[in-house]
Amino acid sequence: MTPAFAKAAPSAPQTTGVGAIDWAAIRAQFPLLTRTVHGKSLVYLDSANTGQKPQAVIDAVNDFSARHNANVSRAVHALGGEATEAYEGARTSLARFLNVRRDELVLCSGTTFALNLVAYSWALPRLKAGDAIVLTRMEHHANIVPWQLVAERTGATIKVAELTPEGELDLDGLWTLLTPEVKLLAVAHVSNVLGTVNPIREICREAAKRGIVTVVDGSQAVPHRPVDIAALGCDFYALTGHKMCGPTGTGGLWGRRELLAQMPPFLGGGEMIKEVRFEGTVFNDPPMRFEAGTPNIAGHIGLGTAAEWLSSVGMAAIEAREQQLLEHAMQALQSVPGLRIFGTAREKAAVISFAIEGTHAHDLATLLDLEGIAVRSGQHCAHPLLAWFGVSATCRASLAFYNTEAEIDALVTAVNKVRTLLL
């Protein structure tokens, strides 16, 4: 029998138009959003850091833990079979959500692990002195540091694609960097600081013409817009589960089958083997080859549920709703005296990084928290980007479909209030 957590139908409405969706009813499925902090109603504007979870995801995780808990692929008893069925069902759900083959989808702890997997299993055995890796100025540290470590060990060099003042990639400059010695290009689909949406299909097409392998960080794209990996033309695509309404410690790496087949294991032990002898070990086929040890079973069951739940709402509708909220927020925040917004790309996700002249981002965020407003402050794991803008830190308000115009207005009111306290 299929366990309850694996077959529970999402309760979000099946619809495609943003105006046809009852967004208040959607929001009501997120229990955390009813909280108060410091005696104020919570206004959660930190979804680029981690997304909140609908009740369907919470129930799926809890039901597995309470009624079906067992390890996967290691027992013939009923619970073991239920756990394995549900875990592999989650892989299927996520693969369907991304429009990829399930046997090309590695389940892992998140984007950081996925990028390191590519760095150590694909890049490290292949790169050598004289080769080059191209990154962009807007990358998260997780898409910088692994490549630096590979470059240090192989003698390869790193080249950086720069931005326009609006926070868009300078594509002409990027094309000039794609010289014959470049073997790999790593790029964010959406910037976690600027909200810039990069033209990934065009970038991957130009890289492919030159025989350059492309690695895309999809952390900020998959939760907020339709992503058809098969249509992008990339070679690897990394994502994290907790930003897309799933549990922490979950995520995935999609890779082209022929590339995954060439890659040695990253970690050893568990289900990544077919046979172990002291004379030598026969490794499993991808994706199992890269899934050593006991996986986060409950977490990935929750992630599979999140993918199904998001699909039931419709990612196109989610993107449209978030664009409405972004437009409202950009207009409202520009009325605040002395406020500077970083990132005004023509195609932009619902992420707004800002600073107020004469204030520090941490002070601003601390006082906003006392007003019930949750935003992030700091460098957002993007030190090179903020240095390029000439600032040490910003505040970041990152929106999701479960936010409201009233919450944005509350943010603006609070910003105006705390500004007077700090100046």
DSSP helix/strand/coil, 133: strand
End-to-end CA distance of the chain: 64
271 falls in which pLDDT band (50, 70, 90)? confident
Query: Is 160 within 8 Å of 132 (Cβ atoms)?
Result: no
Q: What's residue 75's pLDDT? A: 79
340 conformational bin, left if phi > 0, alpha if psi -120 to 50, beta if neither: beta
- Report domain extents, the chain: 41-47+314-422, 78-311
The answer, yes or no, to whether residue 94 has pLDDT greater than 60, is yes
Is the peptide bond prior to 3 cis by the omega test (within 30 degrees of 0)? no
Task: Return d(Cα 255, Cα 251) in angstroms, integer.
Answer: 13
CATH of 78-311, one of 3.40.640.10, 3.40.50.620, 3.90.1150.10, 1.10.510.10: 3.40.640.10
The tokens of 266 are what? 């990253």
DSSP 66: I
Q: Exactly one of 108, 234, 245, 381 is catalytic; which is it?
A: 381
CATH of 41-47+314-422, one of 1.10.10.920, 3.30.750.24, 3.40.50.300, 3.90.1150.10: 3.90.1150.10
The answer, yes or no, to whether residue 203 has pLDDT greater than 60, is yes
Q: Bigger pLDDT: 57 or 17?
A: 57
17 falls in which pLDDT band (50, 70, 90)? low
Catalytic residue flag (residue 245):
no
Phi, psi of 365, deg, nearest 5: -65, -35
- DSSP characters for 254-319? EE-HHHHHHPPPSS-SGGGEEEEETTEEEEPPTTGGG--S---HHHHHHHHHHHHHHHHH-HHHHH
Query: Is 31 within 8 Å of 331 (Cβ atoms)?
Result: no
